[in-house]
Chain A
Amino acid sequence: MELNDYNLCVHQWADSLFRFARKCLGHEEDARDVVQGSFEVLWQKRKSIEPGKAKAFLFQVAYRQAIDVYRKKGRITYKDELVHTGSMEPGNPDLKRVLERALEQLEEQARALVLLKDYEGYSYEEIGRITGLSEAQVKVYLHRARKILKDYLVSVENII
């Protein structure tokens, strides 16, 4: 990968990587750190990475860094943590916000799998390469997470 390829990756994948990291971590600054760290690793290892595999490499690094941050996050309480007010008001359900709330109910790995699947459209095999899981594991974990989301939606619908 050359300099131009790297800069092209920044333009193409920085936004999606940031969305993924932000949904995984639930914190914007942590997500920015993850994005910067991912691109820094890409730059350092650019000689051994082909341009076509740069996206998967970026998400792989971001996933690992997000897991690390998420584990540290358990010991940290952010003041500007997301506050959900009014989104679940009866009669005015906001599906997007409900889904975000449902996503927070997932474990970090399951959340990453859902995001990789829905946001980026990766196949089970590709998600397995990114997360280091087998294809079967990805399928099982992803279906489990999807059921949790569906149950959350059903429960909210029942409350409303």
Chain B
Amino acid sequence: MITRENYEEYMLLLADGELSPSETEELKAFVKGNTEMEQEMAYYMSARMVPDANDIYIGKEELLKKAYGARIIGLQRNWAYGIAAGILLLIFFGIFKQQGGNSKSEIVKKDVPQTNSKFQIPNSSMQAPVAKQEDQPSTIPASKHSITKIKKTITSPVNNSFNEETNNIARAEAPKQDSIEKYIARADISANKDSQPKRFGWRVDKVKKDSISHIARVKSPHDNRGWRKEPILFGQGTRNVDKQNNDTSTIVKAAKPDENKQPFAERTMGERDHRRELPEHMFDTAALIAKVPVDNTGAEPKQKRSFFAHLPIVGRKNIGINLVTDAVENNVSKVKQIKENLKNTDVVIKLGKKEILAFNL
């Protein structure tokens, strides 16, 4: 009940917003008609503070917090570890730089003609002569000894040990190339699977056909006799795949450096034994063909040869590549040696007398 004694408290409650709507109506009815009370209530209602919406806090971004992942952790406390890491890096870089410098000096010291690299391929097997003219037979860099052996073998084709001997000859002419032979065979087989007639398989694929300076395209004088006309890879055993029987065999192609004879003769001796019946006079002038069975035993080659050694690159390029391969191999071997030496080595880094880092390589 609002009276003259308590109306002021009701006005204060109204200013505080604590009166219910019914109590507010009751108060308004009580003061109605009394100017003094109405003015007093107006003063109380005016004495309420109104917030200024323009009064805002500038710089809320400073109060916001970021995720922990975005925090930047200073390294001032870890300066010792930083120094240790820097020393380690210097040591390792120093070692590698020193090794690299030695290798370079070795390369420079090497005399080109006296290169004793195991990748050095004798000219007889590496030179890839190119026929200067189509009429000229290409010079075959086969040694006389090997040709003599081959001749002997060919002249006695019924010899029981023919296969063995031809194998020996082939290995003599293309020594230690079983691995690359396998690779070529795989490439040929895959080519057969794709039903693409790639007679020379891998080599023709790898070398741009238009610029095959190392492959002598010899125009066979026997074309009109039904001989196959195809490019020859000299001095190396090349893989050929018999497309009908998938008979992978190695054909050693060679030609006697006889100027008036045929540049090559071909003879395949696979499992089908497609031995061509060559005329007798062909044995005197034509190159011999010997079939070398594929080594499918998977045995590791006795001596590894560089990939570049099998490429028919002539002259200085060959020498340069040999030098590069030698240098690369030297570096690799030295790095391996360093790694072996550092293996199971305890490394302790000290600053003064204090050990700051210790680890086992």
Contacts and interface: CB of A to CB of B under 8 A. Distances in A.
A17 B60 contact: no
Contacts of B49: 23, 99, 103, 114-115, 118-119
Given A43-B65, A153-B43, A153-B47, A19 B16 contact: no
Contact of A15 (B9, B40, B57): B57
Which of B17, B47, B56: most chain A Cβ within 10 A? Answer: B47
- Secondary structure of the B side of the interface? loop
Contact of B57 (A6, A23, A32, A43): A32
Interface stretch (A48-56, A76-84, A140-148): A140-148
Contacts of A36: 62-63
SS class, residues of chain A in contact with chain B = helix
B51 A102 contact: no
A39 interface: yes
A96 interface: yes
9 contacts: A10-B60, A11-B60, A14-B57, A99-B46, A99-B49, A146-B44, A146-B47, A147-B12, A153-B46
A18 B57 CA distance: 6
Interface in B129-180: none
B55 A18 contact: yes
B68 to A, nearest CB: 9
Interface residues of A, number: 39
Contacts of B48: 118
Given A6-B65, A14-B57, A150 B44 contact: yes
Given A15-B55, A95-B46, A118-B49, A146 B16 contact: yes
Contacts of B44: 146, 150
Interface in A134-158: 142-143, 146-147, 149-150, 153-154
Interface in A85-120: 95-96, 99, 102-103, 114-115, 117-119
Chain B's interface size range is: 20 to 34
B7 to A, nearest CB: 13
Contacts of B67: 3
A48 B18 CA distance: 32
A124 interface: yes
Given A102-B47, A146-B47, A154-B43, 15 more contacts: A7-B64, A15-B55, A17-B57, A18-B56, A19-B51, A36-B62, A118-B48, A118-B49, A118-B51, A119-B51, A143-B9, A143-B12, A147-B12, A149-B47, A150-B43
Nearest to A143: B12
B12 A146 contact: yes
Top 8 A-B residue pairs of the complex, sorted by shortest distance between their CB atoms: A149-B47, A18-B57, A118-B49, A14-B57, A143-B12, A150-B43, A15-B56, A10-B63
A5 B298 CA distance: 69
B27 to A, nearest CB: 15
Contacts of A64: none
Nearest to B44: A150
A115 B49 CA distance: 7
Contact of B64 (A10, A15, A23, A95): A10
Contacts of B64: 7, 10
Nearest to B17: A121
Q: Which of B57, B65, B67 has the most CB of A within 10 A?
A: B57
Contacts of A150: 40, 43-44, 46-47
Contacts of B15: 146
Nearest to A19: B55
B52 interface: yes
B47 A99 contact: yes
B58 to A, nearest CB: 9
Contacts of A23: 49
Residue of B17, B46, B49, B55 with highest tally of chain A CB at under 10 A:
B49
Contacts of A103: 49
A23 B55 CA distance: 11
Contacts of A102: 47
Interface in B1-31: 9, 12, 15-18
Interface string A30-51: 0010011001000100000000
